[in-house]
Amino acid sequence: MELIHDTGWAEQPATVEQPLTGDIDGDVVVIGGGGGGMSAALRLAEKGVDVVLLEAKTLGWGATSRNAGYITNSVAADPEVLGFLLKRERLRSLYRYAENAVHFAEDAIEHHEIDCGYQQEGIVMAAVSKGQLRHARRNAKVMAEAGSQAEFVEGPAAGLPEGFLGGVREGVGGTLNPGEFALGLRAATIAAGVRVHECTPARSITDTGDGVTVETPNGKVRARKALLTTNAYSNGLSIAPKHLASPVWTSLIETEPVAPERLDDIGWTSRAPLVTLHMILESYRVTPRGTIVFGTRRLQTGRNPLPDRTPAPHVADDLVRGFRERFPGLRDIEPQKAWGGWIGMSSTWLPVAGEASDNVLYSLACNGHGFAQAQYVGHLLADRVGGAPLHEDLAAIWHGRKRFWPSFVSQPALSAGWLADRAADRLAALRK
């Protein structure tokens, strides 16, 4: 198996947009060229705003193109826990926001004519033990009461692989090739007339009272307003709220092609994409090219400045071991490559957006579920920076200028979660 540091899904752009050299002025500067940053820049350009977009690598180089390829109306925090902690209206607003984010991403694919293999097939939050199945039933109830299009499914009739007992089927969303999507959104952003400067990291951002100044290695950008859509890399900027993001490295693996009849033989007749109900989820899905992509399961923390890296061998080995345990009928299927990327986790495990200062807004809409949500929040923040009232979906995650508690996302905590998941797996195996 090859451990690589690239998107895992699509080729990198053939050409790079001009890095910034010298000083320039603009109306709004967007820092971070992932899905959220590109979506914000597109919206601003659409409204006639002179927008500058800065990206340390190339647009979409980070989590936008390195993720597992799910468009989902999930939030990272457990639904049952949220149902206990949050008021009903607050929970309903979160799921409304998450579902609208899915439809926004779907509209973006259609509007920009992005060929990324999108399959509108929903997702199953799947149970691999009786305990998880009971948990799935409770989650389905909470989600349905919150307005989510989710239903509890159980047994072979659900078309899930052997060993997957059922779960919560989410009726919206699906899967795509995120690398191809990122390239398509990048092309749309450049074509819209956004002043894109790739290979241009922001070193510092200063709110001067009447505007902002962004320092880069070879020049400055002066603008009225700034948007931070830097996610896992946010802590590297002093103006970002303290404890905004905990960087976490997540890994993915792709197998060799699997014959369709073999998937039928193991009961995966629905071909539904799966995420398990472990503390640290596992994901499994069949791609249009007939391979299986799986990942997460074991996470690693990092500190800014975040390094370029490949998946750790012991993490990749653990992922393969988990795949073979989940799919004993496919034990002979060989993994071909592994890749990964940095995601940002908030201290609440919920998406957030707010104000870093008078002239600087930020978003952290990831937590491992941000493919659609980061884009949607970028779009909403673009309207907000232009003076629009706070949209009800943005209000659902709005943090204002409140401080963040120190995050409990640490390597010891993540390792303990992995150990707890493995202990639960062993216990479930003994009870069979």
pLDDT of res. 327: 98
Express each pLDDT in 254-286 by its tens digit.
999 999 999 999 999 999 999 999 999 999 999
Q: How far apart are CA 406 and CA 37, in angstroms?
A: 26
Express each pLDDT in 185-221 by its tens digit.
999 999 999 999 999 999 999 999 999 999 999 999 9
Closest among 337, 202, 344, 312 to 256, alpha carbons compared: 337
pLDDT of res. 85: 93
Q: What integer is the mean pLDDT of 370-382?
A: 96
Express each pLDDT in 86-103 by its tens digit.
999 999 999 999 999 999
Banded pLDDT at 156 (limits 50, 70, 90)? confident
pLDDT of res. 344: 94
> How much is the mean pLDDT over the chain?
95
**Token couple for 359:** 């002239």
Q: What integer is the mean pLDDT of 1-12?
A: 85
The pairing of strands 246-255 and 300-301 is antiparallel
Q: Among 42-51, 67-76, 207-216, 419-428, which is the least confidently predicted range?
A: 67-76
Above pLDDT 70, what percent of the chain?
100
Asked whether the beta carbons of 274 and 124 are under 8 A apart, the reply is yes
Judge whether residue 9 has pLDDT over 80.
Answer: yes
Express each pLDDT in 329-350 by its tens digit.
999 999 999 999 999 999 888 9
**DSSP output for 182-210:** HHHHHHHHHHTT-EEE-S----EEEE-SS
Angle, nearest 10°, between helix axes 35-46 and 178-191?
30
Distances, alpha carbon 242 to alpha carbons 302, 406, 430, in Å? 16, 8, 45
The pairing of strands 51-54 and 166-170 is unpaired
**Long-range contacts from 259-266, C-beta under 8 angstroms, 24+ separation:** 259/290, 260/290, 262/329, 262/330, 263/161, 265/329, 266/161, 266/162, 266/327, 266/329, 266/330
